[in-house]
Amino acid sequence: MKPIDTSIEHLAIARQLLLEPTGLDETHLNRALAEIFGHRVDYADLYFQFTRSEGWSLEEGIVKSGSFAIDRGVGVRAVSGDKTAFAYSDEINEQALLSAARATRTIARNGAGRIKVAGAMNPVSGHALYATDDPIARHEAEMKVELLGRIERIARARDPRIVQVMAGLAAEYDVVLVARSDGVMAADVRPLVRVSVTVIAEQAGRREQGHGGGGGRFDLSRFDDETITRYVDDAVRAALTNLESRPAPAGTMTVVLGPGWPGVLLHEAVGHGLEGDFNRKGSSVFSGRIGERVAAKGVTVVDDGTIDERRGSLNIDDEGNPTQRNVLIEDGILRGYMQDSLNARLMKAAPTGNGRRESFAHLPMPRMTNTFMLNGDREPEEIIASMDRGLYAVNFGGGQVDITNGKFVFSASEAWWVEDGKLQYPVKGATIIGNGPDALTRVTMIGNDMRLDSGIGVCGKDGQSVPVGVGQPTMRIEGLTVGGTA
């Protein structure tokens, strides 16, 4: 049997949901693009989107809220030089499409010739990283409610100190279609699911929280007993550990970051600074430094949107370009930036499949997908044992970074004080303060246990949120500032 070309399958689904209900076809899309080129522009595209989303939440043993929404629309963009005009409509029909197209003709570049719109649309082949099944329609509401109830039962059975359990389930079915003035036409069908667990443990009048959860681009049936038990155990372990925590020491010290989700520090403190728009404008500390050493030897940072079923993965980006595996820093040397089409053209570089947008009502920009550090050669136990005194950060909560100078502040939601190479006691209230590019030069040991997060990441930039993945191995960094409560 000949395998189905995924680009054809995705386009067929996109046409069925986005074009056919209102009688649109490729002729109408070309007409809209031609309308834009009534003025002098370099490039234009149409971005159609259909999104079905659902959410359920449980608290005190009761499903207290449920939501369901359907959203669809089209965004129309025209680019001239470094100027962009953008219009969108939450209606998809010929009149709305042409109205949005006319609205974008307001930009023009003096002295530039008109660029002809391609007469025929050519499908682009993306990846086949996840199935096209709708995770919402495949399962009845009873199954979703029962899943949340099962999470609560497992959590309460873990320890009598668990006094409250909160669980959430979110699912999304997203279909996008991109038509470009260079003749490229591409579509993607994107399922996305996530389970979240929060538990509160109480002991001697003290209460502490723990969190767990995960997800990805797959079906809800993936949340079997083994998987949700793992999420629950993570939450329960964190809450019970924090019940025993003491005030965190403060000062400049060695910090070891655990594998997996602590890669969010790498994402924020380094990843954003490697996005093309910040570097084109010269506002990133990494601007103009390709080929230079920006990190210690052994530090290799990758952004990879091609990992099967990962939360941050895409078959195509939101400009119709296939996603890629991009090496950003290799053995400490800066190799490149993440690019969308606009910034790539202006920087005389190639797009890297990182053009992303929150929805049809937003402009694309360079964004991360799954960003992580590759393995080193040290055993994680060896790294802990090497510490005389310092902090071992197992997990992180919130944080913030200034991409113009790389300075960051992150709070550790689970951390341990280490002396003489041994975990002494858990600490609470530790904040890790530093400078991303400087911190990368202070990396002295990298573990062989690289792990991606469980599928919970959301990245914000310029008011837009998109799902992402992070990860890293255990890593030792010298001379970070720890703000504590002791």
2 pLDDT more than 80: no
How large is the greatest C-alpha to C-alpha distance in the chain, in angstroms?
A: 76
Helices (H), 15-65: 26-36
Rounded-to-10 torsion of CA 40, 86, 279, 297 = -120
Would you say 387 and 254 are in contact if contact means Cβ atoms under 8 Å apart?
yes
Angle value at C-alpha 217, between 229 and 319, nearest 5 degrees: 155
How far apart are the C-alpha atoms of 472 and 461, rounded to whole Å?
22
- Tell me what the mean pLDDT of segment 145-158 comes to: 96
pLDDT the model gives residue 107: 67
The identity of residue 115, as a single letter, is: I
Structure confidence at residue 60 (pLDDT): 87
* pLDDT at residue 272, as a whole number: 93
Q: What is the pLDDT of residue 404?
A: 78
> DSSP 3-state assignment of 454?
coil
Rounded to the nearest integer, the mean pLDDT of the chain is 92
Predicted local distance difference test score (pLDDT) of residue 212: 96
Give 269's DSSP letter: I
Please give the pLDDT value at position 269.
85
Of 102-111, 240-249, 282-291, the poorest mean pLDDT is in 102-111
Total-model pTM = 0.94
Rounded mean pLDDT of 335-342? 97
Name the 3-class secondary structure at 230. helix
In this prediction, residues 213-224 reach a mean pLDDT of 96
**Range name among 34-38, 139-143, 179-183, 337-341 with the lowest pLDDT average:** 34-38
User: Residue 111 has what pLDDT?
Assistant: 34
Percent of the chain having pLDDT more than 90? 84
CA 48/CA 177 separation, integer angstroms: 5
Q: pLDDT at position 402, please?
A: 81
Alpha helix (H) ranges present in 192-309?
225-243, 263-266, 276-280
Q: Residues 395-409: pLDDT tens digits?
A: 998 777 787 788 889
CA distance 129 to 138: 19
pLDDT at res. 5 = 61
Residues 232, 217: Cα–Cα separation, whole Å:
20
Using DSSP bridges, classify how beta strands 246-247 and 422-428 pair: parallel, antiparallel or unpaired: parallel
Q: What is the mean pLDDT of residues 284-309?
A: 96
Say if CB 147 and CB 228 are below 8 A apart.
yes
Distance CA 91, CA 402 (A): 38
Distances, alpha carbon 347 to alpha carbons 68, 338, 357, in Å = 42, 11, 20
d(CA 40, CA 29): 19
Q: Comparing 98-107, 130-139, 285-294, which segment has the lowest mean pLDDT?
A: 98-107
Residues 6+ apart with CB under 8 A from 205: none
d(CA 210, CA 200): 7
CA 421 from centroid of its chain's CA atoms: 34
Task: Give the model's pLDDT for residue 300.
Answer: 98
pLDDT greater than 70 at residue 33: yes
pLDDT of residue 399: 76
pLDDT reading at 317 higher than 60: yes
Residue 140 has pLDDT above 80, yes or no: yes
Lowest mean pLDDT among 22-36, 108-122, 206-220, 353-367: 108-122
Q: Are strands 389-402 and 370-373 parallel, antiparallel or unpaired?
A: unpaired
Q: Compute the average pLDDT of residues 95-100.
A: 92
Average of per-residue pLDDT across 137-141: 91
Q: What are phi and psi of 217, to 5 degrees?
A: -95, 75
**Residue 54 tokens, joined:** 């659902």
Q: In the 3-class helix/strand/coil scheme, how is 155-213 assigned residue by residue?
A: HHHHCCCEEEEEEEEEEEEEEEEEEECCCEEEEEEEEEEEEEEEEEEEECCEEEEEEEE
Q: Give the per-residue pLDDT at 250.
A: 93
Question: Whole-angstrom Cα distance, residue 37 to residue 369?
Answer: 32
| Mean pLDDT, residues 249-268 taken together | 94
Q: What is the pLDDT of residues 403-459, one digit of tens each?
A: 778 888 999 999 999 999 999 999 999 999 998 889 999 999 999 999 999 999 999
Which parts of 331-456 are beta strand (E)?
333-334, 355-356, 365-366, 370-373, 389-402, 407-419, 422-428, 431-435, 443-446, 451-452
Mean pLDDT of 3-22: 85
Residue 365 has a CB neighbour count (10 Å cut-off) of 22
For CA atoms 220, 165, 470, 278, the dihedral sign is: positive
CA distance 369 to 380: 26
* pLDDT bracket for residue 486 (50, 70, 90): low
Q: Is 34 helix (H, G, I), strand (E, B) or coil?
A: helix
